[in-house]
Amino acid sequence: MEKLKQKKENIGSLFDNIAKYYDSLNHILSLNIDKYWRRKAVKMLDKKVLHLLDVATGTCDFAIEIIKQEKAEKITGIDLSNNMLEIGQKKINQQWLNERIHLQQEDCTQLTFEDNTFDAITCAFGVRNFNNLSKGLNEMFRVLKPKSKIIILEFSYPKNKVVRYFYDFYFTKILPLIGKFVSKDKQAYNYLPMSVKNFIWGEKFLEQMEKAGFKNTKYKTLTFGICTIYSAEKL
């Protein structure tokens, strides 16, 4: 637990170190299912909004999917890791999306935006990494406009024992090996299974969202519960 806490304190540099391998490893390690999870989560945004905040935007795959599905006119993407943002910026330039996606380096636990700024907020595979989850959720609540929606996509732990067996084997034995081989960073890909197993999911996560002030909290599991989409509103 102590190790996990230390890693979360240096999370920006952990992602800086693996940034150039992040996309390809994501797709290899998830057997490309991550793309399906992102598509599904974006579909949960029911209407097109004017200005959306994508928290922990990383290399921008989620933000780009939001634009593809025409769910936001304009997106501000924030992340702690500058190297992740640089890769995201290249994709934005290549796809001529500069007018629609703007990136800035920010810490979600102390955002610099005014209260009630955004018409929707999204966060894919980010909350698990926050060094202070309640501060991160409080900040997202603060900058979201009333009558607006938040969508969070995050790994979870499957309930079924047989699925759990295969999941544990894959996450603790196979995934760190591939991760280390490709990225040469042993630490980062040991961190992934550790951070997933020690993170809350389902009802417990909804409780945290409610503590931050969100209402109408719901969740939907994907792929045997390996991943979960959370949705809620600021009334």
Residues binding ligand SAM (CB under 6 A): 11-12, 15, 56-58, 61-62, 78-81, 84, 107-109, 124-126, 129-130, 136
Report, in Å, the least distance between residue 171 CB and ligand SAM: 14
Closer to ligand SAM at the Cβ: 49 or 152? Answer: 152
Closer to ligand SAM at the Cβ: 128 or 234? Answer: 128
Report, in Å, the least distance between residue 71 CB and ligand SAM: 15
CA torsion sign, 162 to 165 to 171 to 175?
Answer: negative
Report, in Å, the least distance between residue 162 CB and ligand SAM: 27
Q: Which residue is nearest to ligand SAM (CB)?
A: 58
**What is the C-alpha separation between 235 and 233, in angstroms, rounded?**
6
Closer to ligand SAM at the Cβ: 104 or 160? Answer: 104
Closer to ligand SAM at the Cβ: 111 or 203? Answer: 111
Q: What is the 3-state secondary structure (H, E, C) of 63-108?
A: HHHHHHCCCEEEEEEEECCHHHHHHHHHHHHHCCCCCCEEEEECCH
Tokens at residue 49, please?
A: 């909004």
Closer to ligand SAM at the Cβ: 15 or 230? Answer: 15
Report, in Å, the least distance between residue 109 CB and ligand SAM: 5
Report, in Å, the least distance between residue 140 CB and ligand SAM: 10
**What is the C-alpha separation between 118 and 114, in angstroms, rounded?**
9
Closer to ligand SAM at the Cβ: 108 or 226? Answer: 108
Q: Which residues contact 65 (CB under 8 A, 6 or more apart)?
A: 38, 39, 42
Closest CA to 48 of 29, 69, 18: 69
Report, in Å, the least distance between residue 161 CB and ligand SAM: 27
Q: How many residues does the chain have?
A: 235
Total Cβ atoms within 10 A of residue 174: 11
